[in-house]
A = this chain, B = another copy of it.
Amino acid sequence: MTTRPAGDDAAGDLRGADDKLHEECGVFGIFNAQDAGALTALGLHALQHRGQEATGIVTYDGTHFHTHKGLGLVGDVFGDARVMATLPGRTAVGHNRYATTGDTVIRNVQPLYADFEFGGFAVAHNGNLTNAGTLRRALVRRGCLFQSSTDSEVFVHLIAISLYANVTDRLIDAIKQVQGAYSLVALSDEALIGVRDPLGVRPLVLGRIEAASPGAAPCWVLASESCALDIVNAEFVRDVEPGEIVVIDAEGVHSIKPFGQRRGRFCIFEYVYFARPDSVMDGHSVYETRKRIGAELARESPVDADLVVPVPDSGVPSAMGFAAESGIPFELGIIRNHYVGRTFIEPTDQIRHLGVKLKHSANRAMLEGKRVILVDDSIVRGTTSRKIVEMVRAAGAAEVHMRISSPPTTWSCFYGIDTPERSKLLAANHDVAEMARLIGADSLAFISIDGLYRALGHDGRDADAPVYCDACFTGDYPVDLCDFTLTSTPRVGELAVTR
C-alpha cells in the first residue's frame, strides 16, 4: 500500500504516474504596482498548470526584500491575508515549481534570493541549463557555497562574482557563460529584468497596465504566458525575443540584445500540451492551434467510427478539430474527476488496477456498443493510454482507435521539461504497430512532424529550416547538451550533489 497513484512503473512518482510530460516552471514579475505581491499571486495562479508543487514570491518595498515560499498550490500558499501582509512593495517576482523531492525541497523553491554587495537580488527561472554541473563544480572550486541543488543557482553565483559593476552587466556576463534554455525574471533594488535564452526555447511575454491617473507611469508585467497577463488585466505588449534582455525601471523598458538578432527555436510542445488554451504564443492562439492539429490529424489518419472522444482535459480541442474535420460526432465519453487530492490509496493488488480511474471514468451510457476514436495529446511511457483503452473497452466500446496530436515522443528533453530517459519512452523502443498492440487499441496513429508544422502555418518542417525546438520528436537538439548525453536521465532543474 503506497500513497502513490497507480502505475505499473514501480519507481513512478507523481510525475511518472500520470504519464505526461511536465513543464518545470512558470515565472511572473511585476513593476510599479500597488499590491505587487497580490497581483503576482494572481499571475502565478494563472500559471498554475506550469507547476503545482511549490511556489514563492519575493517583493521589494524600496528598502527591504520580502520572501515567502511554500509547498502546494498558489491559493494555499498565498491564500492567507496574514501571509500577504508580509509581502509589501510595488515590485515582485514569483515562481511556480513542478515537483522537487526529499530534503532539498525548501531550499530549492524559487525565486532564489541573494544579498549581493550592491544589494538584494531575486531570480526565478523556467528552463534548464545543460552546463550547470560543470559551472557549479568550477564555482565551488573557487569557494562559492551553494544553498540549493537547482541548476538555477549558478546564475546567482555567476552574477555575484562578476567583475562588472552594474547588475545588468553582471547578468550579461553570467548568461554568456551558460548553455541551455532559460526564461528568467529577476528583481534588483532598481529594476525588474526579463531574459530569454538565445533560441527562445521557453516562453516569456511582456504586458502593461495603464496607470489609473493620466500621466502616471504604467505598470509592467513579465510572465511565462499571456493568460497571466489577462488575470491581472494587463494588455499584451509583445513576446520577449530570443536572446533579449528587457530591463524595466523607473524610466521604462530597455531592450538589450547581447547575442545580436537571433532566429529562435521555440518549444513546439508548448502548443501541443503545456500552454493553457487561452494563451497566445508567438502570435498563435493555443486553442485554435490545437483544433487545427486535430483537423490535420483527421486528414492524415482518418478512421470509420461512431464517436470522437477526447481524453480530458488536454485532448478536448484537438478532438473537436478531429470531429469537425471528420464529421464524426464529438462526445464526452470520458469524465475527468478534478477532486483528486495530493495522495491516494492503493492498499492491495485487488485495488491497484482501479488506480487510473481516480482521474478518469468512462461514460458507459455513451460508449456502449460504439466504435470510438480516442484523441490524446501524447504517449510517453504508454501506461495511461493502456488503461484508458482498457477502461473504454470495459464500458462496452466495440472498437477503440487512438489518435495522438503529436508525433511519437522518441527523445528526452533537456531544456526544462520533465521527460523519462529514452529507454522508458514507448515510441523510442517500438514501432507504431507494436505500440497499438501494447496499449490494446484497434488502431493507433500520430500526427506527422510535417503535419504539426502545417497546423502552425508552415509548409512542413524542412520546407524552410526548422523554426521550433522539436528535439523530443526528431532528436535535433538546437542547444548544446554539454553535461548530458542522448541517453542521460534528464534530471531537470536539480543537480546531483553530495547531499
Binds B, one of A141-149, A250-258, A466-474: A141-149
Contact assessment for B287 and A363 in the assembled complex, using a CB-CB cutoff below 8 Å: yes
Separation of A243 and B376 alpha carbons in the complex (Å):
45
Q: CB-nearest residue of chain B relative to A3?
A: B79
| A302 at interface, CB cutoff 8 A | no
Separation of A137 and B166 alpha carbons in the complex (Å):
18
Contact assessment for B146 and A115 in the assembled complex, using a CB-CB cutoff below 8 Å: yes
Contact with B along A409-432 (1 / 0, CB 8 A): 000000000000000000000000
> Can you list 25 pairs linking A and B with CB atoms under 8 Å apart?
A38-B348, A42-B354, A42-B357, A45-B337, A48-B339, A49-B339, A64-B499, A65-B499, A67-B103, A73-B339, A74-B339, A75-B345, A76-B341, A80-B343, A113-B499, A115-B498, A115-B499, A143-B157, A144-B160, A230-B361, A276-B361, A277-B363, A278-B362, A287-B366, A288-B366
Kindly list chain B residues whose C-beta atoms are within 8 Å of the C-beta of A301.
Answer: none
Separation of A75 and B341 alpha carbons in the complex (Å):
5
| A78 at interface, CB cutoff 8 A | yes
Kindly list chain B residues whose C-beta atoms are within 8 Å of the C-beta of A363.
Answer: 277-278, 285, 287
Give min CB distance, A23 to chain B, whole Å: 13
| A161 at interface, CB cutoff 8 A | yes
Contact assessment for B161 and A41 in the assembled complex, using a CB-CB cutoff below 8 Å: no
- Interface hits, A215-238 → B, CB 8 Å: 227, 230-233
Contact assessment for A45 and B339 in the assembled complex, using a CB-CB cutoff below 8 Å: yes
Separation of A133 and B354 alpha carbons in the complex (Å):
42
| A140 at interface, CB cutoff 8 A | yes
| A372 at interface, CB cutoff 8 A | no
Partner of A499, one of B67, B285, B351: B67
Q: CB-nearest residue of chain B relative to A68?
A: B103
| A10 at interface, CB cutoff 8 A | no
Kindly list chain B residues whose C-beta atoms are within 8 Å of the C-beta of A11.
Answer: none
| A211 at interface, CB cutoff 8 A | no
Separation of A401 and B147 alpha carbons in the complex (Å):
55
Contact assessment for B351 and A38 in the assembled complex, using a CB-CB cutoff below 8 Å: yes
Contact assessment for B2 and A81 in the assembled complex, using a CB-CB cutoff below 8 Å: yes
Contact assessment for B141 and A144 in the assembled complex, using a CB-CB cutoff below 8 Å: no
Separation of A227 and B339 alpha carbons in the complex (Å):
14
Contact assessment for B145 and A227 in the assembled complex, using a CB-CB cutoff below 8 Å: no
| A35 at interface, CB cutoff 8 A | yes
Kindly list chain B residues whose C-beta atoms are within 8 Å of the C-beta of A330.
Answer: 320, 330
| A15 at interface, CB cutoff 8 A | no
**Residue in A320, A338, A344 whose Cβ sees the most chain B Cβ within 10 Å:** A344
| A451 at interface, CB cutoff 8 A | no
Give min CB distance, A49 to chain B, whole Å: 7
Kindly list chain B residues whose C-beta atoms are within 8 Å of the C-beta of A90.
Answer: none
Partner of A347, one of B35, B145, B230, B338: B35
| A397 at interface, CB cutoff 8 A | no
Binds B, one of A116-124, A292-300, A454-462: A116-124
Give min CB distance, A80 to chain B, whole Å: 6
**Residue in A45, A68, A143, A233 whose Cβ sees the most chain B Cβ within 10 Å:** A143
Give min CB distance, A239 to chain B, whole Å: 15
Give min CB distance, A401 to chain B, whole Å: 21
- Interface hits, A146-182 → B, CB 8 Å: 146-147, 156-157, 160-162
Contact assessment for B332 and A277 in the assembled complex, using a CB-CB cutoff below 8 Å: yes
Separation of A327 and B230 alpha carbons in the complex (Å):
31
| A497 at interface, CB cutoff 8 A | yes
Separation of A78 and B157 alpha carbons in the complex (Å):
34
| A465 at interface, CB cutoff 8 A | no
| A488 at interface, CB cutoff 8 A | no
| A46 at interface, CB cutoff 8 A | yes
Separation of A363 and B289 alpha carbons in the complex (Å):
13
Separation of A348 and B85 alpha carbons in the complex (Å):
11
Q: List 4 A-B pairs, minimum CB-CB distance, nearest first.
A: A75-B341, A79-B343, A285-B365, A143-B161
- Interface hits, A318-366 → B, CB 8 Å: 320, 330, 332, 335, 337-348, 350-351, 354, 357-358, 361-366
Q: A141-B117, A498-B120 are in contact. Are A347 and B81 (CB under 8 A)?
A: yes
Separation of A81 and B77 alpha carbons in the complex (Å):
24
